[in-house]
Homo-oligomer: A and B are copies of this chain.
Amino acid sequence: MLTGQKIEFNYKDNNYKGIFISSDDEKTTVKLDNGYNITVRNENIKIKNVYGNGKKREDIKIKSIEKHGKNNVCILTTGGTIGSSIDYETGAVKPVKDISYLYNYVNNIDDYHLSHKNIDNILSENVNPEKWINFARKAKEKMDNNNSVIIFHGTDTMQYSASALSFMFEEQTNPIIFTGSQRSSDRPSSDAFTNIEGSIHFSSTDIGEVGVAMHSGISDNNISLHRGVRVRKMHTSERSAFKTVDDSEIAVYNNKNIIFNSEYKSTGKNNILNDKLNDNVSLIYFYPGIKDEDFYNTVYNKDAVIIMGTGLGHVSDSIIKTIKKLSKDVHFFMTSQCIYGGVNLNVYSTGRELLKANVIPLYDMLAETAMVKAMYLLANYNDSFVNLMKTNLRGEINNRILW
């Protein structure tokens, strides 16, 4: 049977009509005429009649793009919750072919000329450095053609991708705004629509940086623009999961207004993209009882290792010994698993030992950002690698933590 075909069937001695949805070895799912799906064991159901060819999804009428304004914005979809819809029959997530239906739901949309390009279709946990290069190149193409860029991206690794593009673009002519949704866009309560609304507005500013636009709080009123290198997903499920860590957000969008909360780099005249990455970098989380050999095996052949140490940036004495053995060949950098606050290796003897072992403290750089930054610098600035790691390039090091 085909999904969508009408069927007549018998279940536990009663006859029913419905639409066939799916079946596997054990069970069959049918949509009844009242709209409910029921799932029953195959041994309990007898199909008596099948007709029709399966019904295709009818597309909803969309606003005409031609009506829209002069601000060119290109939405690049990469997959993830926001740019995808669920196929209710198979449960699979598919990219939305034509996202223009979204236009119906976004305020103030008529000021923009939107275009759309599907550049990938993956859940963001599968995004990797190779994908970042692709995203960056596609973004450059669009900016070269006078577009601001919004990237629909799964929220799981959005912060890593935003960091990657932040570093890879040395200069950019337009804003690049990552956005996503924590509630899928197939539900009325989705945060996608307001996140998109905010993103579109941010995309018309002169911010020459890579940002992440997501809900500020769990209400639908404010959308925050976070600096790509300073944002972290801090909650598994809330709309407001994304937080700028140890710094101010770039801006907040509220009811067609943008309020800037911190300084930002303005758009430049050219798009300068360094699209090389060296992914021979490890990010490793220290914990009591971690095995020296596990640590050694993970790091010995790497070009750079980002350690998420405890507190101000510490690891056990035995790990320090291992680091000392390797630090001629491997660059070690220290961040903290505390997430908030800076590392400081001057305060305790462990820190001073780490400094002696050539471990470089990265102050308040996020561990995830440090990992991406190392990939970027190793590939493009190998000669001044360590020095540039310690230097603030895109706002990833904030020398003033205010709270």
Contacts and interface: CB of A to CB of B under 8 A. Distances in A.
Interface class of chain A by DSSP: loop
Given A157-B310, A298-B294, A310-B157, A336 B288 contact: no
Given A160-B288, A283-B287, A298-B297, A236 B340 contact: yes
A101 interface: no
Given A281-B289, A316-B126, A317-B126, A344 B236 contact: yes
Interface in A144-196: 154-157, 160-161
Contacts of A342: 236-237
A343 B287 CA distance: 21
A100 interface: no
A349 B128 contact: no
A189 to B, nearest CB: 15
Given A285-B283, A289-B129, A297-B294, A310 B341 contact: no
A339 interface: yes
A233 interface: yes
A308 B238 CA distance: 18
Contacts of A310: 124-125, 156-157, 233
A285 B288 contact: no
A367 to B, nearest CB: 8
Interface string A261-289: 00000000000000000010111111111
A234 interface: yes
A238 B126 contact: no
Given A241-B341, A287-B368, A287-B371, A314 B123 contact: yes
Contact of A339 (B283, B291, B339, B371): B339
A179 to B, nearest CB: 15
A338 interface: yes
A210 B141 CA distance: 58
B375 A340 contact: no
A83 interface: no
A91 B235 contact: no
A348 interface: yes
A395 interface: no
B349 A241 contact: no
Contacts of A338: 233-236, 241
A67 B102 CA distance: 75
Given A298-B297, A339-B339, A314 B234 contact: no
Contacts of A286: 125
A343 B336 CA distance: 23
Contacts of A92: 349
Contact of A91 (B234, B289, B349): B349
A129 B313 CA distance: 21
A311 B233 contact: yes
B349 A289 contact: no
Interface centre among A241, A283, A287, A344 (most CB of B within 10 A): A287
Contacts of A313: 236
A311 B368 contact: no
B237 A312 contact: yes
Contact of A235 (B298, B316, B340): B340
A21 interface: no
Q: Kindly list the 5 A-B residue pairs having the minimum CB-CB distance in the complex, ordered from nearest.
A: A236-B341, A156-B310, A156-B311, A125-B314, A285-B285
14 contacts: A91-B349, A125-B309, A125-B314, A126-B317, A127-B288, A128-B288, A128-B316, A155-B311, A156-B311, A161-B288, A233-B311, A236-B341, A241-B341, A297-B298
